[in-house]
Amino acid sequence: MTQSPHLARAREWQVLLHSGRATAADREALAAWRQAAPEHEQAMGEVEKLWALLGQVQLPRESATVVPLARRRKVVRWAVPLASAAALLLAVWLPQGVWLGLYADAHTAPGEVRELRLEDGSVLTLNGDTALDWNFVDGRREVRLYRGEADFQVFPDANHPFLITAGPARIRVTGTRFDVNRSGERVDLSVTQGHVQAADSGAPVAVKAGQQVSWQDGRLQAVEPLDAQQRLAWQRGKLVFRDRPLADVFADLQRSQGARVVFLDDAVRQLQVTGVFALDDPQAVLRAIEGHLPVRLVRLPGLILVASRAP
């Protein structure tokens, strides 16, 4: 389910307010945002209710206190709503796919690159923070990519196509090498050897070696020449950005460092970043962003808040 953008923004405001770093200007900006549209006020109210419920769930038990029967009944009546609220809170506040690593056939932690050899002889190299399943039954070879990025070296077998599903993306091959990158609702396919059939809900399109294609908003886009130096830099231990929006840069960074990123200012998402960095040194990217862009980064445990920096 796609989360409402108003709810996502309200969540970001709530994180800032409880970070201990909110300024008077931040609070004034929040008040203006709430008043700008009824949907903003409604979203903020929902987030505040969920935040309050989380506080109730985390209240310590009074194990040494005798609880009267009437009070115990009240606690029992609240047990189910609070448990449901906690589950809803996790669904709203945690990033999509955060639980996938718990049950996927293969997954990697942020910063981990892992090689996976399948029983048909195919070799997959998983980038950091990647999760996928595979299923080889009755001659069918199928992989479902839930999140992250993988380089596929598919063992040739014309009688048994290799099928990959990644959100709206449908990819079919018999033997070739290519890279699939799923970040949220966007999927990128980069072909380095052979050819691949790519499709959404329509007819497949041929993507050849040296070409790339993307799925955006659930739809297959036009085939383009492959920018291998940038798209496949992770396979060489590099992060290469060429006029990339800051939002995309942080999406790549989350694969090499575990902290989640929350933007407090939509304007900074489109700031352009250019540079070459070591994949195993995400802090160098953060230092470059702070040093060369008008943004401020607030580092919290497991979280980085990104906002505009006053000139």
pTM of the model: 0.69
CA–chain centroid gap for 285, Å, is 18
Residues 297 and 289: their CA atoms lie apart, in Å, by 9
Q: What is the DSSP letter of 155?
A: P
Burial 232-255 (b: 16+ CB within 10 A, else e): bbbbeeebbbeebebbebbbbbbb
- Tens of pLDDT along the chain (311 residues) come to 344 567 767 877 877 777 666 778 778 888 988 998 899 999 888 878 766 655 544 433 333 333 343 433 444 333 444 444 444 444 445 544 544 555 688 989 888 999 999 999 999 999 999 999 999 888 789 999 999 999 999 999 999 999 999 999 999 999 999 999 998 789 999 999 999 999 998 899 999 999 999 999 889 999 999 999 999 999 999 999 999 999 989 988 888 887 778 888 788 999 999 999 999 898 999 999 999 999 999 887 677 888 888 66
Question: Residue 23: which residues within 8 A CB-CB, separation 6 or more?
Answer: none
CA–chain centroid gap for 203, Å, is 28
C-alpha to C-alpha distances, 183 to 88, 128, 148, 211, 224, nearest whole angstrom: 23, 12, 6, 19, 19
Domain boundaries defined on the chain: 5-93, 100-228, 237-308
Pick the CATH number of 100-228 from 2.60.120.1440, 1.25.40.10, 3.90.740.10, 1.10.730.10: 2.60.120.1440
Amino acid letter, 108: T
Fold assignment, 237-308? Phage tail protein beta-alpha-beta fold (3.55.50)
